[in-house]
Amino acid sequence: MQALDIMIDHVIHVHEKDTIRTVLDKFIDHGISGLPVVNNSNEIVGYISDGDIMQFIGKHKDIVLDVILLVSVIKGDQDQFEERARNILALNVMELANKKVIKVKWNEEIENVAAVLGEKRIKKLPVERDGKLVGIISRGDVIRNAFKDLLHK
């Protein structure tokens, strides 16, 4: 069995020129937590996850600003909080996306896909063919497909 046999071929993704607003809209609309980022040629140029966004927020917090924001929220004035949130939403996806994307080829054996997911401790792997995004495989996809025949005997 190969990646092609179990991958989801309708891949929700974002373009490298999209903003974090677009990313979060897709996270919410589709109930997902990560997306491949592609260029105009549909080549995978990044991967953005909810963890990347949280890490960005954690690295760029300003203690003084956080205190001001907390006081503003307590007083019912959320303007500063909303301004900071709008600034994050306006960022280009590539400012936060991981550019060293772990991916697999469309004809990769499923055992190798499972090994990559396990060793790298990642949830999803973009699948490419001829350098283009053609699918995505999650840990759940691998588990379901690897054991379904044995479970139904």
- Is the whole-model pTM more than 0.75? yes
pLDDT, position 78:
57
* Residue 65 pLDDT: 52
Sign of the torsion angle spanned by Cα atoms 30, 46, 117, 125: positive
d(CA 68, CA 55): 21
Give me the number of domains the chain comprises. Answer: 1
**pLDDT above 90 (res 5):** yes
Domain that residue 61 falls in: 3-151
Q: Which of 36, 59, 42, 43 is nearest to 124 (CA)?
A: 36
Task: Kindly indicate the confidence band of residue 63, based on its pLDDT and cuts at 50, 70 and 90.
Answer: very low
82-122: pLDDT as tens digits:
667 777 888 999 999 999 999 999 999 999 999 999 999 99
Q: What CATH number is associated with residue 146?
A: 3.10.580.10
pLDDT above 70 as % of the chain: 81
